[in-house]
């Protein structure tokens, strides 16, 4: 597998993290350098670790994982998305219910956006491709695109305020639905 193929895989895998970063960037919690670093670092880290984990697990559980991965991703993204929408709709709320750049929410988002990377790792194990180099590239690309998404989202958030929090929550739910429908109905182009 050459660098060009790995980059294409990395860009494809990072699109969910980029979209989630764009939505989160619009919130007040992703306005400073620390939350931006935490989010982009963790998205990149999980995207790098999940293919390694998938590769290590190998083909033994591919049938089980592929049967539920879309439900897990949908559930995690919808959970965080609904919380963001609720916070955005509350006219009295001065802050978010949950900071998406910390704790359990950060881990939920990082896992939800990297489940496909786990399956890619399983696939690479099946075709006997060494995993460390592709995993590093996938992590770097995802971290970089997440950073760009957060920065772009910050600009939108400053311009449109609390409405962007609602849009960010909707984006998370739509991504979760896309993952779910793609797996349930085989909609590769969605």
The pLDDT assigned to 164 comes to: 67
Contact, 75 vs 180, CB < 8 A?
Answer: no
> Is-contact 131 125, C-beta < 8 A?
yes
pLDDT of residue 161: 67
What is the pLDDT at residue 175?
77
Query: Residue length, the chain?
Result: 190
The sign one gets for the Cα dihedral 160, 22, 86, 166 is positive
Q: How far apart are CA 98 and CA 115, in angstroms?
A: 22
The pTM of the full predicted model, rounded to 2 decimals, is 0.74
pLDDT of residue 63: 62
Summarised one tens digit per residue, pLDDT across range 24-63 is 887 767 778 998 999 999 999 999 999 999 888 875 665 6
Cα(49)–Cα(128) distance, integer angstroms:
18
Please report, for residues 2, 52, 71, the alpha-carbon distance to residue 185 in angstroms, rounded to integers and kept in the order given.
31, 28, 13
How do the pLDDT tens digits run along the chain, 190 residues long? Answer: 789 889 988 998 888 888 888 888 877 677 789 989 999 999 999 999 999 998 888 756 656 666 777 787 787 778 777 877 777 777 665 544 567 888 888 998 899 888 888 878 887 887 778 899 999 999 999 999 999 999 998 888 777 766 766 777 787 788 778 878 887 887 654 4
**Residue written as token pair 């998404």:** 149
CB–CB of 36/30 below 8 Å? yes
Asked if 50 and 118 count as a contact pair (C-beta separation under 8 A), the reply is yes
Whether 32 contacts 181, CB under 8 Å: no
CA dist 47 → 43, 87, 174 (Å): 6, 28, 20
């Amino acid at each position: 597998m050459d660098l060009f193929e790995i980059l294409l895989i990395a860009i494809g895998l990072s699109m969910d993290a980029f979209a989630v970063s764009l939505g989160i960037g619009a919130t007040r919690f992703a306005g400073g350098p620390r939350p931006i670093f935490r989010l982009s670092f963790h998205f990149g880290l999980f995207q790098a670790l999940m293919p390694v984990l998938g590769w290590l697990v190998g083909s033994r559980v591919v049938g089980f994982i592929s049967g539920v991965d879309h439900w897990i991703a949908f559930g995690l993204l919808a959970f965080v998305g609904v919380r963001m929408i609720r916070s955005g709709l509350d006219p009295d709320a001065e802050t978010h219910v949950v900071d998406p750049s910390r704790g359990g929410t950060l881990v939920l988002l990082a896992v939800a956006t990297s489940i496909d990377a786990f399956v890619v790792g399983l696939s690479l194990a099946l075709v006997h491709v060494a995993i460390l180099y592709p995993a590093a590239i996938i992590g770097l690309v995802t971290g970089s695109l997440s950073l760009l998404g957060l920065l772009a989202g910050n600009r939108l958030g400053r311009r449109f305020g609390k409405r962007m929090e609602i849009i960010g929550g909707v984006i998370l739910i739509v991504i979760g639905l896309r993952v779910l429908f793609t797996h349930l109905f085989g909609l590769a182009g969605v």
